[in-house]
Amino acid sequence: MGRILAVDDEPDMLTLIKMIIEGYSNHQVIATNNPVEVAELLRKERFDLIITDLKMPGMDGMELLALAKQQDEDAIILMITAFGSMETADEALAKGAFDYISKPFRKEQLLLAVDKAMRWREMALQNKELKKRLGEE
């Protein structure tokens, strides 16, 4: 079971994301529509995946991406936006986002992106553990 932080300034979108993920997977979703409280959440808790909207007041998705990577260089970030463009997608990916999907999205698209991200996170953690063990031997 993974812990997912969902950040979007639209409460309806957060409800939808939480409903889809918790309804069709065994992951837990912590949701906030206040991007400014993300810094505090990241300091207090560990998340396997962060799903964030790109355009939000207070702190946009790119700022949130930078903050999350600063706190945890291995953070996995999935960007969601209604303002999809290849340039924005490329910029988000270049700055460390794991993946990018555009609104409106289908339930299957979100679930596939989450599954892919969680599998990647698991492999990355296993890889890190193996390197640590090899270094100790």
- The pTM of this model reads 0.91
Q: What is the mean pLDDT of the chain?
A: 90
pLDDT value at 83 more than 70: no
CATH code reported for the domain at 3-136: 3.40.50.2300
pLDDT digits (tens, 9 = 90+) for 10-54: 999 999 999 999 999 999 999 999 888 888 999 999 999 999 998
Phi first, then psi: what are they for 85, rounded to 5°? -150, 155
Task: Quote the CA–CA distance of 112 and 126 in Å, as a whole number.
Answer: 21
Among 16, 36, 19, CA closest to 28: 19
Q: At 51, which amino acid appears? A: I
Domain ranges of the chain: 3-136
